C-alpha cells in the first residue's frame, strides 16, 4: 500500500519523537523498548517503580491512547494522569505487586497502523452539537464540555480490510459513575458504562466488545450518550479498533494434531483478511510484506511436530518467501522458512510439510506466519497450518 503525504508526515513525526526519546537520558525507573515504535507501541521495562506508584512518562512521547500491564498473567488496565497543561504525564499503578512491563500505545492523529490497529483521535472528530468541543494541549487532545447528552461525536474512517476488531474507548470523567454510552460502528452498536476516573485529567481505557466489519470501505463511527449521570458525559480522547481473533483459539485434538485454520487466526495487517466465502475459506489478499497471521493455540501433549501448510498460489505467482515463527517471545522460539509454490490457482490448495519443530511444554503457544519477500502480486493464500505429531 502506498502511504499518502499526510500519513508519511505522521510516521516521520512519530519516528522523530522516538529518536528524540531514545537519545535522551534513560528514565530513572528503567528503559523503553521501542522495537514496535513504527506501530506506535512501546514497552516500558520498569526495574524501579517510584514509591508512590506514579511512573513518569518522558517528554517527547506521542499521545497515549492505551496503557496496560500483565499482572500474574492477567491483563491489567492502567490509568494515565496529566497535569492541567499536559507538561507532566504519569502512569498510575495500584498498590501491591507492580508490573515489570507496561505496554503503551500511542497515536498523534487518526490513522491505521501497519499492524492493523486503527485509532480514532478526538482532534480529528466531528462534534455534532454546540456545547461539546475540542480541548487541546500537547499530548492531551480531548472532546470536553460535553454537558448535553443529546450531542454526539463522530468519525468517518476508511477501512482497508474487513474482519473482527476489538473496540476500546479512552476517556476521563470527574462525574459520578454510571453514565452510559453507545458506540455505533456501521450497523453494529456497542454499549458501555463509564466509571468515574476521579479527575478530568485522569484517563482510563475500557473494552466495549468485538465488532465484525463485513466489508472494506467507509466506516461511520459515532459515540453518543444514552444515560447521563452528573454534569457532563466525559472527556473523550480516542476510540481504538484492534484486529481480533476471527474465530476460536485452537486446541490440540485427541490424536495430538493441532489444526490452525485461517478462520481462527488474528490478522496483524491492513490488507490480509479471512475470506469466508464457501469456495475460499482462506487467508487471502496477502499483498503486503508487513501483514502477518497469528494463532494462539493450546497444547495438551507436548511433542515434536511436522509443520504442514495448506497453501495455494496463482499461476506464475510462486516464489514468495514466507517465515513461520513459534513462540517468538520465548527462549525456545523456533523458525521455519519456506518458498511458496505455484499451485495453479490461489484457491487450488496443496498440503506441504515445510519443517519440524519441538514444543516441549503444555499450555498456550503462538504461531505467526509472514512474508519475507513477495515475488509477484500476492504471496499466497493459506487455508490452514497443521502441527502433526512425529511418530517414531
Return d(Cα 242, Cα 165) in angstroms, integer: 5
CA distance 16 to 14: 5
- The three cell numbers of residue 21 are 526519546
What span, in angstroms and rounded, lies between the C-alpha atoms of 191 and 351?
43
Tell me the per-residue pLDDT of 304-332, one tens digit each, with 9 for 90 and over.
999 999 999 999 999 999 999 999 989 99
- Three-class DSSP category at 44: strand
| Cα–Cα distance, 150 to 52 (Å, whole number) | 40
Query: Each residue of 236-250: pLDDT tens digit?
Result: 999 999 999 999 999
- H helix and E strand count, the chain: 1, 31
State which fold the 258-389 domain adopts: Jelly Rolls (2.60.120)
133-137 vs 140-144, strand pairing mode = antiparallel
Strand-by-strand arrangement of the 217-227 sheet: 126-128, 152-159, 217-227, 179-185, 188-194
Name 188's Cβ contacts closer than 8 Å, sequence gap at least 6. Answer: 211, 212
Q: In this structure, what C-alpha cell is assigned to residue 176? A: 459520578
Residue 137, SS3 per DSSP: strand
User: Where along the chain do the CATH 2.60.120.260 domains lie?
Assistant: 111-243, 258-389
Nearest CA among 117, 379, 120 for reference residue 268: 117
- The answer to whether 52 touches 102, Cβ cutoff 8 Å, is no
Residues 17 and 9: their CA atoms lie apart, in Å, by 12
Domain with CATH 2.60.40.1180 in the chain: 5-106
pLDDT of residue 1: 33
Higher pLDDT, 3 or 282: 282
Q: Select from 299, 297, 285, 268 the least CA-distant residue to 382.
A: 285
Average pLDDT over residues 154-182: 97
Summarize the confidence of residues 85-100 as an average pLDDT: 90
pLDDT in tens, 47-76: 999 999 999 999 888 899 999 996 555 678
Considering the segment(s) 111-243 as one domain, its CATH architecture is Sandwich (2.60)
3 state DSSP class of 296 = strand
Q: If one looks up domain 5-106 in CATH, what number appears? A: 2.60.40.1180
What is the pTM (predicted TM-score) of this model?
Answer: 0.91
Q: Which residue's entry shows cell 450497523?
A: 187
Half-sphere exposure of 43 (CA within 13 A, CB side): 10
Amino acid at each position: 500500500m502506498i502511504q499518502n503525504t499526510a500519513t508519511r508526515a505522521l510516521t516521520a513525526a512519530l519516528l522523530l519523537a522516538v529518536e528524540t526519546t531514545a537519545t535522551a537520558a534513560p528514565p530513572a525507573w528503567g528503559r523503553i523498548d521501542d522495537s514496535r515504535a513504527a506501530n506506535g507501541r512501546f514497552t516500558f521495562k520498569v526495574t524501579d517503580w517510584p514509591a508512590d506508584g506514579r511512573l513518569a512518562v518522558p517528554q517527547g512521547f506521542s499521545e497515549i491512547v492505551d496503557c496496560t500491564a500483565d499482572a500474574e498473567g492477567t491483563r491489567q488496565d492502567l490509568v494515565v494522569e496529566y497535569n492541567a497543561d499536559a507538561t507532566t504525564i504519569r502512569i498510575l499503578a495500584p498498590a501491591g505487586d507492580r508490573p515489570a512491563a507496561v505496554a503503551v500505545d500511542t497515536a498523534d492523529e487518526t490513522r491505521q497502523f501497519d499492524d492493523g490497529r486503527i485509532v480514532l483521535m478526538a482532534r480529528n472528530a466531528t462534534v455534532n452539537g454546540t456545547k461539546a468541543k475540542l480541548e487541546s494541549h500537547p499530548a492531551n487532545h480531548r472532546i470536553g464540555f460535553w454537558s448535553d447528552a443529546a450531542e454526539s461525536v463522530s468519525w468517518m474512517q476508511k477501512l482497508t480490510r474487513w474482519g473482527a476488531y476489538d473496540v476500546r474507548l479512552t476517556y476521563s470523567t470527574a462525574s459520578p459513575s454510571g453514565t452510559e454510552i453507545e458506540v455505533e460502528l456501521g450497523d453494529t452498536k456497542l454499549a458501555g458504562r463509564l466509571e468515574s476516573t476521579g479527575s478530568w485529567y485522569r484517563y482510563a481505557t475500557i473494552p466495549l466488545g468485538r465488532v465484525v466489519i463485513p466489508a472494506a470501505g467507509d466506516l461511520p463511527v459515532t459515540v453518543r450518550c444514552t444515560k447521563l449521570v452528573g454534569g457532563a458525559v466525559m472527556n473523550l480522547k480516542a476510540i481504538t479498533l484492534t484486529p481480533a481473533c476471527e474465530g476460536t483459539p485452537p486446541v490440540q485434538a485427541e490424536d495430538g494434531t493441532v489444526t490452525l485454520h485461517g478462520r481462527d487466526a488474528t490478522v496483524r495487517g491492513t490488507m490480509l483478511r479471512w475470506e469466508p466465502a464457501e469456495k475460499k475459506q482462506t487467508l487471502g489478499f496477502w499483498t503486503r510484506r508487513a501483514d502477518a497471521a497469528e494463532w494462539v493455540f493450546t497444547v495438551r501433549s507436548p511433542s515434536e511436530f511436522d509443520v504442514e501448510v495448506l497453501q495455494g498460489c496463482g499461476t506464475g505467482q510462486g516464489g514468495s518467501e514466507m517465515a513461520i515463527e513459534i513462540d517468538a517471545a520465548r527462549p525456545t522460539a523456533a523458525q521455519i522458512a519456506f518458498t511458496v509454490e505455484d499451485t495453479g490457482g490461489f484457491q487450488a490448495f496443496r498440503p506441504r510439510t515445510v519443517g519440524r519443530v519441538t514444543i516441549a511444554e503444555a499450555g498456550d503457544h503462538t504461531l505467526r506466519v509472514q512474508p519475507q519477500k513477495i515475488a509477484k502480486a500476492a504471496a499466497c493464500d493459506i487455508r490452514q497450518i497443521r502441527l502433526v505429531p512425529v511418530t517414531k
